[in-house]
A = this chain, B = another copy of it.
């Protein structure tokens, strides 16, 4: 393969991933009614990782964390976004996401495709310091948004404190400092009335 062929494959990938801008999340922007899309979300997480890296439980390779966060939701171009508190669908490691990773990263030259699939798999597995920290960041952002949005998806989808706390625990694996902060935020949200102690009757 010539360097030009390599470049053409890379450009095809860059073109295709534009579709991440159409994947709409349940969460809304800080102080806004507009829903966030996955590209904006991925940018915000990368910024958070850059700025918050010192709070990771273990030293992390920031470049690897950024790569993980920039690519982590690409599979949703084919597989769609699954809401964190969805009671039917389980987000993690679905067959649809695996196929999406193969198709999307497969647009790239072979070696680069393998490299990015490995980065994505490492994030999904959540077993390295980088993956644990990246997952902390991914979980922290919607908490900040909901607090900033009078309860956001917690109120909209009637998600009670215990469910939120349960999903928040994963932050601890990447950063106890960020977990403590997030815990304070959700505790305070109950006091403020923007997070219900119990789910209300349907």
Contacts and interface: CB of A to CB of B under 8 A. Distances in A.
Interface in A134-175: 144, 148
Given A14-B144, A66-B66, A21 B36 contact: yes
A190 interface: no
Contacts of A66: 46, 63, 66, 70
Contact of A43 (B13, B39, B148): B39
The binding surface of chain A is classed by DSSP as: helix
Contact of A47 (B3, B17, B40, B50): B17
Copies of this chain per assembly: 2
Interface band, chain A: 35 or more
Nearest to A62: B63
A2 B3 CA distance: 51
Interface of A: 3-4, 6-7, 10-11, 13-15, 17-18, 20-21, 29-31, 36-37, 39-40, 42-44, 46-48, 50-52, 54-55, 62-63, 66-67, 70-71, 108, 112, 144, 148, 177-178, 181
